[in-house]
Structure 1
Amino acid sequence: MLSSTMQSLELREQDLTEMGSLIQSRVVLEVSSQVQSLLDSLDSATLDIGVTGESGAGKSTLVNALRGLSDSDPRAAPTGVVETTAKPMSYPHPSLPSVQLWDLPGTGTLSFQAKQYLEEVVLERYDFFLLVASERFRESHAQLARAVTAAGKRFYFIRSKVDQDLRASRRRRTVGFEEDQVLAEIRADCVRQLEKEGVAAPRVFLISSFQLHCFDFPRLQVTLVEELDGHKRHVLFLALPAVTATAVRQRKEALQRHIWKKALLACLVSALPGLPLQLSVPMLLETLASYRRSFGLDEESLGGLAQVAASPLQRLQAQVYSALGRELSPVVVQDVLNKAALCGQAAAWLACTHLPVLENLVAGGISFVAAYALLHNALEGFAGDAQRVLEAAYGTGDGRALGSPCYPPDLGFLYG
């Protein structure tokens, strides 16, 4: 009888162990599902940008520039000296297809009617408008601005081709030419004309689509990001070309805010019973590939920048120093992951202390700390690479490297 009782207790203990494992698996799956849902909602946020304005103002060229493409790229919107857009055409961002730039038909013809025009292009479709003008302010700009404002939509007035304006002004003013003064005059005239039409506090930006790193494009980036909310702000941050050192730094910081979600998901997947550890490596590889594209370090992006900046591709490629920037493969990722695990050992105790649920995950599989360190240090390296590439292409930057060697990442978010 005693033997039977002991056997029964052993069976119960085994049942309890199996039940515990099952509960743990279900908890891990539930947490994984919730984290994946957060990431999906972030990555799938849609953004529709309407680019409108007078015929010949450079709308299509601006659309291409915002997508990081030259006009000669096969994926580029058609451009020309005459109006090439007869109906609204949607052009997805090369690496963020949920961001759509709409090249809208040109305005400024004798038959143009702003209200009818906005009805035809389906006003409600767009999150905001870029109203593009060149050379001088026209009545069609005023009509379009009033109609967009009356419909409750935001618009940003883009004075394009300012590089051409500066060259023309330099030829006329052989003595006493000052670039800043000419730009201030152009900006003030646009603001005055819009205010005269009843537009309060108009946002005016002077831009050259062939020199996005110059003039007001960085200020436009900051304004757009500040005035969008939530996930749309995030995808716009990643979609607009990072053509200055400041933009690169801000992009790095935006991505760093979500590293913990990516690291936690990879960690949870590696901890699920019955699933091979290698499943986490492709997940991390995909994340790293998206980071690299975001900084314009993949082969396609570097080729596009070489065309836009008229810079030799080999010169740009030579500025990529980080191991993951040069090559992304499962072998390289696993190697860097192993090094990141050693690099993050000093922080593992903090992770277990402040988030006890991570205790088992840190002990086996791909630990949260190792995955976090991998992604954190990869972003630092990519940002440094991106700044060097920009300096080689445009001569921009503040001379400070953004990358840093491997070190235990800041786990301050664990404290709330």
Structure 2
Amino acid sequence: MAKLQTISEAEIQEISSTVKSRVVTEVVTQIQDMLGQLKSATLEIAVTGESGSGKSSFINAFRGMGDEDPEAARTGVTETTGEIMAYAHPTVPTVRLWDLPGIGTPSFQPQHYLEAVRLYQYDFFIIVTSERFRECHVILAKYVAQAGKRFYFVRNKVDNDVAATARRRGGDSSTVLNQIRTNCEAGLRQCGVDHPRVFLISSFEPQCFDFPQLQKTLVSELEGHKRHIFLLALPNLTSAVLKNKRQALSGSLWRTAMAACLGAMTPGGAMCSSVPLLMDTLRSYQQNFGLDTNSLHRLAGLTGKSYEELRREVRSTSGQELSMDGVERMLSQAAMGQQVLAGMLENRIPVLGTVASGGVSFIASYCLLRSAINDLSEDAERVMRKALNGSDLEYPEYQEDVPDPGEFY
């Protein structure tokens, strides 16, 4: 019989190191794939309607900017959309709203129209009017439904109707809105829509009327990554929206923190090697909560507040201008006093022991990002209340499952 050779301690350590290296490589690949799918997810929203219905103003309100913003969709009292125009969301550029040519002209033929505007590239359609819905709107909606796409009826400019009624004879605004809704739904039923849903909005007062309800409906009817990026693109009009954003960002927190610490596991890796990724993540959080410089300027222009008074409401360290040194200090502080939690996680996920030796621990990255999400959401709450003069609206919370890292491994 062949004599069995003994394995030295050095060889055992080498085998162990090789196995751990392969495990880490596989984990890195999986996490990068997950984060890549989230970042590359797209949402294409088609907005159409008659000339003068306020499509462009609706698109601007949806993107959280005023009509005078340099990046706003062009608006006017006549038809300004002669061709298809795409407008990316300012902080979530993979969310795009498409301003489509107007409908309702004598030459309008829905089947040719939908072919011309490339029907199948959009996730859903929003059909806008500033008066009553007509047969052309319903015909278009039916063709959209036949293609397996969702559509939503939006009655714009209801603020003008409420103000005009108040000037003529006074009266309660809710009565006016109920009349408008009843007339719109009745008109749609006459044209063949069995269960019409109409959202009454004002593009110039998006925090009022049915604008939040429209957003809530879209969130509930989207799925997966599309729902996630749509939620992050919502303007901060209510406390519940901010809570929902915090929940959505927490859903990818494990993966982001793991990617940061695994990124340090390169030859010569050190704490500083994870800082660029953490900086990028913190900056994206600032944008998601509308606290970066550009977002605050847009909000100031939209609400009439000054940029300076909105900026003063951003009080957390995470909400300030970020630097490499500053993020390193935040990372070091996050790592202090976390030994118990780190030990618990390491017992559940053995690879964390290897990760910690690579330069920066998972728990430090995780605690830093978790604290940042909480702090930034509180900053955004103060900014929202300052911008809206302390008002807030009811908006049911959306819940996204936050994965347990142990389940992933």
**TM-score normalised according to structure 1 size:** 0.89
What is the match of residue 224 of structure 1? 218
Shift of 1:414: 4.9
Q: Give the letter for the 2:247 counterpart.
A: E
Structure 1: stretches of 5+ with no match in the other structure:
1-7, 400-410
- Structure 2 residue 115 is the aligned partner of structure 1 residue 124: no
What is the match of residue 398 of structure 2? none
- Structure 2 residue 83 is the aligned partner of structure 1 residue 92: no
Shift of 1:145: 2.4
Q: Give the conservation status (yes or no) of the 8 Å contact 2:53–2:129.
A: yes
1:198-234 deviation digits (Å, cap 9, x = unpaired) = 2232221111111111111111111111111111111
Shift of 1:309: 1.1
What is the match of residue 397 of structure 2? none
Q: How many angstroms apart in 1 are the aligned matches of 2:297 and 2:113? A: 37
**Structure 1 residues 253 and 156, CA gap change in structure 2 (3 angstroms):** same
What is the match of residue 152 of structure 1? 148
Q: How many angstroms apart in 2 are the aligned matches of 1:286 and 1:389? A: 22
What is the match of residue 5 of structure 1? none
1:39-58 deviation digits (Å, cap 9, x = unpaired) = 01011111110000111111
Q: How many angstroms apart in 2 are the aligned matches of 1:363 and 1:350? A: 16
What is the match of residue 46 of structure 1? 42
**Structure 1 residues 13 and 302, CA gap change in structure 2 (3 angstroms):** same
Q: Give the letter for the 2:380 counterpart.
A: A
- Structure 2 residue 312 is the aligned partner of structure 1 residue 318: yes
Q: Which SS does the other structure have where 2:336 is aligned?
A: helix
Shift of 1:363: 5.7
What is the match of residue 112 of structure 1? 108
**Structure 1 residues 360 and 151, CA gap change in structure 2 (3 angstroms):** closer
**Which region of structure 1 is more displaced relative to structure 2, 81-90 or 180-189?**
180-189
Q: Give the letter for the 2:307 counterpart.
A: L
- Structure 2 residue 320 is the aligned partner of structure 1 residue 329: no
What is the match of residue 407 of structure 1? none
Please point out which of 277, 284, 293 is paired with 2:278: 284
What is the match of residue 408 of structure 1? none
Shift of 1:246: 1.0
Q: How many angstroms apart in 2 are the aligned matches of 1:144 and 1:395? A: 40
Q: Give the conservation status (yes or no) of the 8 Å contact 2:349–2:406.
A: no
- Structure 2 residue 357 is the aligned partner of structure 1 residue 366: no
What is the match of residue 55 of structure 2? 59
Q: Give the conservation status (yes or no) of the 8 Å contact 1:54–1:140.
A: no
Structure 2: stretches of 5+ with no match in the other structure:
394-401
Superposed CA RMSD? 2.2
What is the match of residue 201 of structure 1? 195
**Which region of structure 1 is more displaced relative to structure 2, 218-227 or 272-281?**
272-281
1:384-413 deviation digits (Å, cap 9, x = unpaired) = 1111111111135559xxxxxxxxxxx993
Q: Give the conservation status (yes or no) of the 8 Å contact 1:343–1:373.
A: no
Q: How many angstroms apart in 2 are the aligned matches of 1:343 and 1:158? A: 53
- Structure 2 residue 171 is the aligned partner of structure 1 residue 180: no
Please point out which of 17, 32, 47 is paired with 2:28: 32
Shift of 1:17: 3.1
Please point out which of 77, 80, 88 is paired with 2:76: 80
Please point out which of 401, 404, 409 is paired with 1:413: 404
Shift of 1:415: 6.1
Q: How many angstroms apart in 1 are the aligned matches of 2:238 and 2:155? A: 20
Q: How many angstroms apart in 2 are the aligned matches of 1:200 and 1:384? A: 43
Please point out which of 158, 161, 182 is paired with 1:162: 158
**Structure 1 residues 338 and 79, CA gap change in structure 2 (3 angstroms):** same
Shift of 1:110: 2.5
- Structure 2 residue 232 is the aligned partner of structure 1 residue 238: yes
Counting aligned pairs with the same residue, the percent is: 48
Q: Which SS does the other structure have where 2:308 is aligned?
A: helix
Shift of 1:322: 0.7
Structure 1 segments of 4+ aligned residues over 6 angstroms from their partners:
none
**Structure 1 residues 298 and 93, CA gap change in structure 2 (3 angstroms):** same
Q: How many angstroms apart in 2 are the aligned matches of 1:42 and 1:412? A: 15
1:315-341 deviation digits (Å, cap 9, x = unpaired) = 100110111102211122111111111
What is the match of residue 190 of structure 1? 184
Q: Give the letter for the 1:413 counterpart.
A: D
What is the match of residue 384 of structure 2? 390
1:113-152 deviation digits (Å, cap 9, x = unpaired) = 2222212111111110011110333333233223323333
1:263-315 deviation digits (Å, cap 9, x = unpaired) = 11112122344323311011111111111101110001100111111111111
**TM-score normalised according to structure 2 size:** 0.91
Please point out which of 218, 229, 250 is paired with 2:244: 250
**Structure 1 residues 133 and 232, CA gap change in structure 2 (3 angstroms):** same
**Structure 1 residues 398 and 169, CA gap change in structure 2 (3 angstroms):** closer
What is the match of residue 209 of structure 2? 215
Q: How many angstroms apart in 1 are the aligned matches of 2:53 and 2:195? A: 23
**Structure 1 residues 142 and 259, CA gap change in structure 2 (3 angstroms):** same
Q: Which SS does the other structure have where 1:271 is aligned?
A: coil
**Structure 1 residues 363 and 345, CA gap change in structure 2 (3 angstroms):** farther
What is the match of residue 405 of structure 1? none
